[in-house]
Amino acid sequence: MRLGENPYSLTITLVDKNTPRTFEFSNSEFISMTELVEQLIKNGISVPSSKEQYSLEFYKRCHRGVYPYTPPHIQLIIESNDCNLFTFWNCLHNFFQQLIIHLDSSETLPKDPQFPLGIAARAAHDRVLDEINEFAKSIPHYKKITYEEFPSLFDENGVLKDPVEFKARLYHAGIEPSAMPLALPFVFAVYDLNSTAESREKLKQELEDEFKNLKAQVEAYTPTQIENNVKLSSAFRVIKHDVSRTDRHLLAFKSTEGPGLQMVTRLLESYCVFNPPIGYLQGMNDLFVPILLAFLPKWDDNGNPVSEDSQVIDHEQFLSTIFWCFDAMLRNTDHLDLLADVTKQCQIQANEVQKILTKVSPLAAIWMKKKELKDLLWCYSDFVLLFKRSFPDIWGVWLQLNCAPYPQKWLTYFVAAIVVQGFNRISSLEDVTITAMMDQFPRILEGLDLTLLGETALWLAEKVPPQNVKEKPEDKQFKMSGFKYFETPWTGPSETSLLYQHQSKSN
- Outline where 312-468 has alpha helix (H): 316-332, 335-340, 342-360, 362-370, 380-385, 394-403, 410-428, 434-446, 450-463
**Which amino acid, one-letter code, is at 67?**
Y
Model confidence pLDDT, tens digit, residues 356-366 = 999 999 999 99
β partners of residue 12: 21
Q: Are residues 317 and 356 in the same domain?
A: no
Does residue 386 share a domain with residue 318? no
Q: What pTM does this model have?
A: 0.89
Closest by Cα among 114, 79, 147, 96 to 362: 96
Identify whether residues 452 and 350 lie together within a single domain: yes
Mean pLDDT of the 394-403 span: 97
505 in a domain, yes or no?
no
- One domain for residues 233 and 347: no
- Give the Cα separation of 372 and 358 in Å (integer): 15
Structurally, the chain folds into a number of domains equal to 3
Say yes or no: 74 and 193 in one domain: no
Q: What confidence tens digit (pLDDT) does each residue in 170-181 have?
A: 999 999 999 999
Residues 327 and 373 in one domain: no
C-alpha–C-alpha distance, residues 80 and 21, integer Å: 30
- pLDDT tens digits, one per residue of 174-229: 999 999 999 999 999 999 999 999 999 999 999 999 999 999 999 998 888 888 88
- Is 134 within a domain? no
Structural domain contains residue 125: no
pLDDT in tens, 84-109: 899 899 999 999 999 999 999 999 99
Q: Collapsing DSSP states into helix, strand and coil, what is residue 53?
A: coil
Statement to judge: residues 21 and 75 lie in one domain = yes
pLDDT tens string 469-487: 765 544 445 555 544 434 4
Determine the average pLDDT of the residues in 260-279.
92
Range of the domain at 389: 342-463
Same-domain check for residues 319 and 459: no
Instruction: Output the domain CATH number for residue 328.
Output: 1.10.8.270
Domain assignment present for residue 179? The answer is yes
pLDDT score, position 74: 84
Closest CA to 171 of 394, 451, 465, 462: 451
